[in-house]
Amino acid sequence: MTRGRFAPGDQVLVRDEDPPHHHRTPWYIKGRIGKVDAVYDPWPNPEEMAFGKTNGPKIPVYRVEFDQKDLWDTYQGPKRDRLVIDIFEHWLEPVERSQQ
C-alpha cells in the first residue's frame, strides 16, 4: 500500500487551480486551509478514470476538515461548525508556517 504524505492533524492547503478537465475538487475549498482528520487507503484517480484510464497508480485519499467560517464570507452559524470532505492527495500541499 502507498503511504500518504500527510497524517491526521496535519494542516493542508487545497490547490487553487481550475484544470480544463474533469476534476472532483469543489471550488469552495480551493485555496483554503484545512486539517487532515483521517487517511484512507489509496484509490484510483477519478480524474483519469473519467477518460477511461483505469490502470494508473492509486492515490491516497484524505478526510479533511474545514471551519465553515473560513469557507463562507457570510457564515453566521456556530464557530464549531465544520465541513468535512474527502480529497485526493494530488490536490493538497503542506501548509507553511507563514500561511497559518
The answer as to whether 3 is a domain residue is: no
The bridge status of strand 92-94 relative to strand 82-88 is unpaired
The pLDDT score that the predictor gives to residue 45 is: 75
Q: What is the C-alpha separation between 59 and 69, in angstroms, rounded?
A: 29
The answer as to whether 5 is a domain residue is: no
The answer as to whether 1 is a domain residue is: no
The answer as to whether 19 is a domain residue is: yes
The answer as to whether 34 is a domain residue is: yes
Q: Please work out, in degrees rounded to the nearest 5, the angle formed at the alpha carbon of residue 12 by the alpha carbons of 81 and 9.
A: 70
The pLDDT score that the predictor gives to residue 2 is: 53
Count of domains for the chain: 1
Res. 35: pLDDT tops 70? yes
The pLDDT score that the predictor gives to residue 42 is: 82
The answer as to whether 33 is a domain residue is: yes
Host domain of residue 24: 11-99
**What CATH number did the domain enclosing 44 receive?**
2.30.30.50
In tens, the pLDDT along 57-98 reads 888 999 999 999 999 999 999 989 999 999 999 899 999 765
Average pLDDT over residues 26-37: 95
Res. 1: pLDDT tops 50? no
